Structure formats: structure tokens, C-alpha cells
Chain A
Amino acid sequence: MLSQGPVPLIFEMGAPGRRAFSLPGGDVPEAVLPAGLRRETPPRLPEVSEGELVRHFTTLSNLNFGVDTGFYPLGSCTMKYNPKVFEVVARLPGLSGLHPYLPEELAQGALRIIHELERYLAEIAGLARVTMQPAAGAHGELVGVLLIRAYHESRGNPRQKILIPDSAHGTNPATAAMAGYEVVTLPSDARGGIDVGALEKAMDDTVAGLMLTNPNTLGLFDENIDVITGLVHGKGGLLYYDGANANAVMGYSRPGDMGFDVVHFNLHKTFATPHGGGGPGAGPVAVTAELAPYLPVPLVDFDGESYRLNYDLPRSIGRVRSFYGNFGVLVKAYAYIRSMGAAGLKQAAGDAVLNANYVMRHLQEYFDLPFDRACKHEFVLSGKRQKEKNGVRTLDMAKRLMDYGFHPPTVYFPLIVEEAMMIEPTETESKETLDRFIGACAAVANEARDEPEKVHGAPHTTPFGRMDETRAARQPDLRWR
């Protein structure tokens, strides 16, 4: 049952002296830490019983909406179902209990998982080698652009600019800046792809590379991809593939074959590992043989007998985190690929694309569809009509969808579409669910026309109503006191 009263914080519960732990007595003498370094007052942590603790977090969990709760068509996030068996195998004590500095012979299974996952991802990308180190997509982007930088530096000049389409995720420009590059934004053309003329003009020998998501954030495959890669390579630049949308093409087309030099995958999108409420994910980066010498250390090599950590990469960009990556996440992605097999992965992409086109064709009657062509795994609608005619904004309609039991789509992204709604159904939803969602969207569009007030005030049936975000940002209250 959902609480309708105030939800207390864990700090507001319990009583001094109450506890939810039991620890053994000491079997060795107590040690004395130096007086000058000792803490004087204990940290104010909760003091609750285990039962109170469990109720509190169970209450909180009931206030959340996950993929297991309902349909989550959040564009660009690939909220596919997270199979339960992967949670079980990742928790096997012989995997989750391994220390990263174990002698290699005592961690052969773990090293094999990393090595084989590398081979699988290299095959899916159509590239040579893969680092598992990045903890997230953005982290993978950083590695990728640093690899591009290292490649150019080895040729005597890191170059100054990275080209990024105006439809890109915000992480792309932020990453390029973090890697020391100036960002040049490329406009999109009328079909939603890169404006090739603008690319031709921008591309010269000061440009280190182009970062591209393909299909892009409009859910559209760039039909000029071979022209684009030709233009960039022609001036000595490299091509970075943001794999956020890889779920649309796996098994159908490979970034390496398209001409990309660097690819990051989001294992938490394409390979079914859970998003965890915002992480942990994993962002492995695949590269051409030419870029492999610059990969972060270590890589996992196999000599035909045993697996070992290879730190011997003198031209490596270094490290972006400790140890070998989010191994627990890698295990789940590995298990996913082993469960699906080649045909299963291709089927997943095919059904993701079919489901998206199905929903798109049904919703274009109710909303503006700025790019009317077959989409890939997601598509972008515009709420312009509702805004202009009914004074109802996309945000309102998104909130109203919650009342129908659905998670809203991604809104106001990509930035190039006014009042954007980005919908990604994924392959793990049934036709019945899609039909119900289409029905709910149609109902909301009708309400926007006939009863705009109902939509303005939404959501009405969720445990909480709309938030005063201005207050939160003006007077930041970031901790309980």
C-alpha cells in the first residue's frame, strides 16, 4: 500500500541505542589509534531496528517506477526487461566475492568472462579490441576521445576540434571539452541526418574527429554514413560512434563496417543490464587495431592456456578508473549475449525497430511527426500542435501519461525538435502493451484538446504531485540536518 502521509527520512526514525546489526565480540586485543587522529563526535547515522529499516526502504521502493513496474518508453535509454537469472549469476560468490588483486590463476573464470565479452563486443562492433574499464557511457566517451587524441598526438599534433551534430547527447560536447577539444556543432539536414555540406566545410586538418550516434537521437539511420566517414577520414580525422542506440542495429550492421574507428557500448541499454536508478552501468570501448595500442591498461589476454592481465601497453592513455571496470555489470552483459546468441541479438534489434515503427505509425495521427520516414528503435514526436492550439505543453502530456500507468517518454530532447517527445518501446514489450500505450497517448492528445486543465495539472494519481523545482534550486537543501 502506498503511503499518502508524509514519508519520514531514515534519520527521523528509530531511537538512540536501537540497532539493526550484530557483530562478533573481539577475539584479539583492542588497538589504540593515535589520539590526535581520533574522531571526537560520532557521525549522526540512523539508529533503527532491522524491521524499521526494511519497512523504510520497502516504502521507498513503492514510490519508484521501474521496468518491472510498467512500460518505460524512455527514448535514448533502452529500458528493456532485465532478466532475473543475470542477477543470480552475478551474485555467485565465486564471481562477486573475488578481490581484484587475486593472483591471476585464482581468477581465471572472471578473466575469461572479461576476455570473451571483449571478443563478443568486438564482433558486434566489427572492430579489433575492447576495453572494459569505463563505468558508464559518458566514461566510455572520455576514453574514446582520449584515444583519438593519443592517435593524433602520436602523429605530432593532437588537432583542436571535435565535430558534433546538433542532435547529439549533451555528454558528447562535454566529453570533447574534457578531453581538451573545442566543439564545433554541425546542423542536421531536412531528413534528420548530418548536413553533409556543412560537414564538408567544417572538416579540415584541425579537426580530430566526428562524434556520431547512428541511428541518431531522432531514431534515424544516417543514409549518408559512407559519405560522412569518407569526408572525415579524407582529412585525417577519426570517427567516434556513440553506441547509445546500438540496440537498433546489432546483428544488422556494424559500426566498424560503417567506418567508425571508436565505439562505446552502453551495456545497461543494449545488453539488458539494469539501470539501477541511475547506475552502475558500463561503457566498454571498441577500437580498430590501429588504436588498440592506446587503450587503457590492463587488457585481458589469452595465450591458449590461461588468461592474464596485460599491463604492457607503453602507449596507453593510462586509466580512467581503478581495477578492470564494473565487473558485476560485465557478468550480466556476458550472460545476456550467451543467452541470446547471434540470432537472438538480431531478433532483438529487429523487434525493437518493428515495435518503434508500429507505435510511431499509430501516434502520428495525434502528434506532429517532424521526420516522416521509417525509424529505427525509437522516434521523436513533437507536441507543437498541442502547445499552439491548446496551450498544453509536452511536459504536461508526459506527466499525464503517468496517470495512465506509463512512464513518460524522454521529453525536450533532442534539442532540435520543438516540444520533443522521444519514444523507445524496446523489443521486450508485447503488442498488447504497445496498444495500451498508443491508446493512452491518444487519450492524452484528446484531453489536451478537450480538457486541457486536466492535463495541465497532471499527474493526479501518482503518490506525489509536481515538484517545486525552482525552490529546490534557489535554496539548495542537499542534506538532512
Chain B
Amino acid sequence: GPCRVSMSMAEIRSGFNAIKANIQARDPIRNLSILSYPHSLHKVKSSERCCITHQLFTFYVDKVFKHCRTEDSYINRKISSIANSFLSVRRNLELCHEQNKCVCGQESLGKLKQILVNYEGLNVTSAAMKSLGELDILLDWVEKES
């Protein structure tokens, strides 16, 4: 959409790459994806990209990161630095949203609702860890579209 937000994707991506194998290994559920079930993010119309990006960053900041504690302090540090990056990106997206350039259509509302249904279908720790393990799905989509 019209809302071009410069994001420190490389920072988030490298933080995630450092913990990806560890976090994904903690997720034994193969037949459900929070972000991609039943339809991939890549199927979403690009006109609704700004809204979904904003809502997804809000989802991660408000719902996911707080439930992602592990017994490993290195992993926890990486998670909190990713969370901080998300906070600053979400702040940028907030500006867009306030300037009404980030309109949410039916499709994005439906997609976001499905994501919440997927999330709430699991216990909160499993759902949060699975969502964290799917960050590459989110980053791949955001980077491809930008």
C-alpha cells in the first residue's frame, strides 16, 4: 500500500536466524501454521499489505513475545532484541495507520481473524513459540512485497 515503512529487516532477520533452529525444534506441531493456515500470507492482495503488516506486528508485540521465555539466556536475549525491533517498527506503522493510509479491507480482517483463531487454538506457550518460529514466514512475505 502507500505506506512505505523502512524497517530494519536485516536486524530482525539476523536475530531470528541465530535462534531459528532452536525455536522451531521446540514446536512439534506440524499440521498447523499460525500464519499460513489455511492460506499463505502470499495469497493476500498487496493493497491490504499495509494493514496486515501493522496488525501482525501488533499481534507479535502484544500477544507473542511476552510468552516466549526459555531456559536459555542467550535465546531470551535474542528474543527480546527482536521484540524491541518489532516495537520500533510497529511505532512507524502506527503513524501510517493514524494518517489513514493503512486501510483494512474485508480480506485482511478475515485473514487476521484466522490467525487469532489458529493462535487461540493452542495453549498460549505453544502458540507463542510456534508464532516465533514462523517469523521467517512473516519476514519472507514482508521483504518480498517491499
Chain B associates with chain A: no
- Residues of chain B touching chain A, judged by Cβ–Cβ distance below 8 Å, are none
